[in-house]
Structure 1
Amino acid sequence: MILDMERRNACDNKKVLVDTDIGGDIDDALCLAYLLGHPSCELMGITTVSGEVEKRAMIADAICKVAGRNVPIHAGADKPLLPSPLYPKPDGAARLSNWAHETAFQKYRAVDFLRQTIRENPHEISLLAIGQLTNIALLFLIDPEIPELIKELHIVCGVFSDELQTSPDMPMANWNSWADPHACAIVYHTNVPVRRTFGLNVTTRLTLQRREKADLFSTDIMKAVEDFGSPWLENNVMTFHDPLAAACLFEPQICEYQRGFIDVEIKDERTLGMMHFRPSDDGCGEIATSVNRNHFFEHYFSIVCR
């Protein structure tokens, strides 16, 4: 009976690769803690993107070490596809001295690792993209067969709300597209068997005040998450953008979805990176249109607060 259960659990496991700009907004670290804690997540590797990628890899490694896990980690693209004055730095790296971590990470190694892992596990990899899409675009350009070899692709990107699109924070708040709109356009003009996008119209409903879950940062791994995220939390509300996309790999019913096409603005500088959704039953992907907030947090807490 125990052996049968172990076999069943192995069959239910998801092989996950996560591409992240961890070290700024705390949600990347919250997401990593969830993946490390999920019993059905076989975390195949972590790749980093977007400014000082080596330090971002160190942060990811530090959190993995606290969890007692040896996960392959590779630094990726340090800058967007086209020249840009943007060069975001991971403020959380200031906390690296508080935690044990490896330091031997080199830039531009991520794409080779992603390509090899996906080719060695065809139609089995769930790819989670929670940073700007430079690494993913380069992967798709270098090996055009890769998109068809991925099992599913979850992306945190976009706004998909007229009200949010006209807010003073746009287009910068749509960071994962705005920071490298050309990479974003490449990814969204490539067909993947299953592609789901989680935009600000849904993820911004998942804010959490510390008083709502006073013991959230009580475990060792969550203490590390809090430490690396503390520079962000000094001036920002904790919002679970990235953890939602991760949770929906395992509990897709947390959200409702709509099928359609997404176009990315790459010509007009005023709206650079803006993503336009066109509903269609024949569309090549889905966007999340709503989220069950209670279901999400109950599920998230059940994983990270054990």
Structure 2
Amino acid sequence: MTTLKVWLDTDIGGDIDDALCLAYLLGQPNCELIGISTVGGEVANRAMVADAICKAAERSIAVYAGADNPIMPSSVYPTPDGASKLVNWPHETTFKASQAVDAMRAAIYGHPHEVMLLAVGHLTNVALLFLLDPEIPKLLKGLYIMSGVFSEELEAAPDMPMANWNSWMDPHACAIVYNTPVAIHRTFGLKVTSQLVLGRSEKADLFATPVMRAVEDFGAPWLEQHVMTFHDPLAAACLFEPELCVYERGSVEVDYTHADTFGQMTFQAGGSDGNHEIATTVDRTRFFEHYFSITGQQKHLL
């Protein structure tokens, strides 16, 4: 497989899955990670977390802090609990908010039709990028997003719509992105990603390498109260192993007008006329075998 240029847009520093996703990309030999941008609440601290994980992997990756707040005013301001672990890891400290969109734009113009944009946080940075420069979507190779639910059973759960965090946190941004045509527009929702729960006892050596030890440390505050679900790593892995999932083509609409269903993403199957693809099933066993094979290739401490 030829090397794929990837830009990661992430709200790393909270749920451990963002860090697990970054570790995968750093270990994937076919990934040329050309940049990382952070979004949503203390973005400079989030950038420091991303930089620290890159340094733990002995990699120098350009990291940019992005949008600190959603497009429309909100009283919700998420903070990265994992940033409390920054004292344990070397990292740069010079990040400033609102630098990401310009950097993303320059990278895409520098590599037209080559960049896969992987968005695993809420979509404020991506929406601002598309609004700033309408040519950008035409220049992307593709857009992979972890967002949405696409399950009536899960939609009825008591923690919805907030559990659909990446859309709920900034539904206006989500709507902008899903109303913008991109050559490949593929989405991984909770219907499939929620199947990827892993107990610590199932993979005792998961955090054995230096980079994975950093992932574990930054994810520790999350793991004190939550299970480990590989939402974001699935979207990353499918950039390189798309057959891990089965997809359906159609159209996605985002609710940004009704308070009780903010961010709800509705999929309408539409055959070849649809602008979007959603993952409908995932091979759980094959996914974890692939993930472990990539992260296990990273260096161990001597």
Q: TM-score, normalised by structure 2?
A: 0.98
Post-superposition offset of 1:22: 0.1
1:304 counterpart = 2:300: no
Tell me the amino acid that sits aligned with residue 302 of structure 1. S
Post-superposition offset of 1:285: 1.1
Instruction: Provide, for residues 239-293 of structure 1, a one-character-per-residue CA deviation record: whole Å limited to 9, x for no partner.
Output: 0000000000000000000000000001110101100100001100100000000
Which residue of 74, 85, 90 maps to 2:64?
74
Which residue of 292, 295, 300 maps to 2:286?
295
1:37 counterpart = 2:59: no
Which residue of 268, 291, 294 maps to 1:278?
268
Post-superposition offset of 1:305: 1.4
Alpha-carbon distance between aligned partners in 2 of 1:233 and 1:301, rounded to the nearest angstrom: 19
Q: Where has structure 1 moved over 2 Å in runs of 4 or more?
A: none
In structure 1, the partner of 2:117 is 127
Which residue of 144, 147, 160 maps to 1:170?
160
* SS at structure 1 position matched to 2:214: helix
* SS at structure 2 position matched to 1:256: strand
Which residue of 143, 148, 158 maps to 1:158?
148
Alpha-carbon distance between aligned partners in 2 of 1:270 and 1:209, rounded to the nearest angstrom: 33
Alpha-carbon distance between aligned partners in 2 of 1:16 and 1:262, rounded to the nearest angstrom: 24
Which residue of 241, 249, 259 maps to 2:249?
259
In angstroms, what is the RMSD of aligned CA positions? 0.5
Alpha-carbon distance between aligned partners in 2 of 1:38 and 1:186, rounded to the nearest angstrom: 31
Q: How does 1:84-103 map to 2 (within 5 A)?
A: 84-103=74-93
Tell me the amino acid that sits aligned with residue 136 of structure 1. V
Instruction: Provide, for residues 130-176 of structure 1, a one-character-per-residue CA deviation record: whole Å limited to 9, x for no partner.
Output: 00000000000000010010001100000000000010010000000
For structure 1, the residue ranges without an aligned partner over 5 or more in a row are 1-8
* SS at structure 1 position matched to 2:94: coil
Provide the identity percentage. Answer: 64
Alpha-carbon distance between aligned partners in 2 of 1:169 and 1:200, rounded to the nearest angstrom: 13
1:139 counterpart = 2:117: no
1:55 counterpart = 2:23: no
Q: What is the number of residues matched between the two proteins?
A: 296
Tell me the amino acid that sits aligned with residue 285 of structure 1. H
For structure 2, the residue ranges without an aligned partner over 5 or more in a row are 298-302
